[in-house]
Copies of this chain bind each other. A is one copy, B any other.
Amino acid sequence: MAQDHSGIGSRERILAAAAAMLAEDVTATLSVRAVAARAEVSTGSLRFHFPTQRALRDAVLARIYGGLFSDDPIQDRSLPARDRLVNCLRQVLAPAGVGQQAREAWTKAYQTYIASDPTDEVRTAYLALEREGRRRIEYWLTVLADEGALPEEDHTSRARFLSTVLNGLSIERALPAEDSILQSETETLYTAVDCILTANQRE
């Protein structure tokens, strides 16, 4: 007997439950039974809407990364510095998409910049784009530095480091991957960000 969920579809309940669990704990495992219980549906129902755990994870990923942060997360003083910076980096990563979308994005990048020796024009265009990206990261770092979360020093090398991490995550979205990208990506982002924010402890 199907339960009455007052009009909200099971699919939606499941996604909401999974998103809530991730919101509470980014390292949450999102097991079939845990999500199903939280959503108050059966495991069978969950499987009906998401034929595999990977499908569920992907759907949740799409929901979280998709336009959730419409305004600049760096300004949200209610969160700790590391969470805000991670949210910003996620926002950069979002357009990369997942699965086929990510592959298509890299197809374009490949054809433009890698397939053939780039013309000077293309080259400088890319360098401008890349610098723009790093500038954005640097801006975030200065905001956090103003709050004392990291040293006031030069942020260029830190920004470049984060940019490289983003490039790595981005290409990994296009390459074949296990179904746990969501978790490992978050973990990696936090590792990178913590690296930056605790750099003042050293030297």
Contact surface of A with B, Cβ cutoff 8 Å: 100, 103, 106-107, 109-110, 113-115, 117-118, 122-123, 126-127, 130, 157-158, 160-161, 163-169, 171-172, 174-178, 184, 187-188, 191-192, 194-195, 198-199, 201-202
Residues of chain B contacted by A199 (CB below 8 angstroms): 191, 194
**Within the complex, which residue of B122, B163, B175, B195 is in contact with A195, where a contact is CB–CB below 8 Å?**
B195
**A/B interface sample: 7 pairs, CB < 8 A:** A106-B110, A113-B176, A157-B184, A165-B168, A167-B172, A192-B195, A194-B202
Q: Say which residue of B118, B158, B192, B198 sits within 8 Å of A198 (CB atoms).
A: B198
Q: When chains A and B are docked, how far (Å) is the Cα of A175 from the Cα of B191?
A: 25
Neighbour of A164 across the interface among B100, B168, B202, CB < 8 A: B168
Q: Which of B118, B122, B171 contacts A171 (CB 8 A)?
A: B171
Q: How far is the CB of A167 from chain B (nearest CB, A)?
A: 4
Residues of B within 8 A of A123 (CB): 176
How many copies the complex holds: the figure is 2
Inter-chain contacts of A174 with B (CB < 8 A): 113-114
How many angstroms between the C-alpha atoms of A123 and B109 in the bound complex? 22
User: Nearest Cβ in chain B — how far from A182, in angstroms?
Assistant: 13
A164 CB → nearest B CB, Å: 4
A175 engages B107 (CB within 8 Å)? no
Tell me whether B176 and A122 are in contact (CB under 8 A): yes
In Å, the complex CA distance between A19 and B15 comes to 41
Contact B191 A161 (CB under 8 A): yes
Partner of A106, one of B100, B103, B114, B202: B114
Contacts of A195 in B (CB 8 A): 191-192, 194-195
Tell me the minimal C-beta distance from A55 to chain B in angstroms.
Answer: 16
Q: Which of B107, B126, B163, B176 contacts A115, CB < 8 Å? A: B107
CA separation between A160 and B182, bound complex, in Å?
13
Smallest Cβ distance from A100 to chain B, in angstroms? 7
